[in-house]
Amino acid sequence: MSDWMNKVLESKRENRKKLAALPFSAKIELLEKLRDRSLLISSSHLRKIHKSVPAHSEHAHA
């Protein structure tokens, strides 16, 4: 495994430990922020434009 990948994996482990050590109330605050961000992204004008663009179909390659 590359040195870069080892650093990425170690960073993930450290972040998981930090999150696990947080008090419950701090975890709830993080969840609320993530929910708010998710709602903002889902209501984004750009997301609606992206959804309206048709995906490639199997018939397009025939």
The answer as to whether 16 is a domain residue is no
Buried b (16+ CB within 10 A) or exposed e, 16-55: eeeeeeeeeeeeeeeeeeeeeeeeeeeeeeeeeeeeeeee
Question: Is 80 exceeded by the pLDDT of residue 47?
Answer: no
The answer as to whether 30 is a domain residue is yes
Domain that holds residue 29: 24-50
Confidence of residue 57 (pLDDT cuts 50, 70, 90): low
The answer as to whether 31 is a domain residue is yes
The answer as to whether 37 is a domain residue is yes
- 10-38 per-position pLDDT tens digit: 999 999 999 999 999 999 999 999 999 99
The answer as to whether 11 is a domain residue is no
The answer as to whether 4 is a domain residue is no
The answer as to whether 56 is a domain residue is no
* Number of domains forming the structure of the chain: 1
The answer as to whether 6 is a domain residue is no
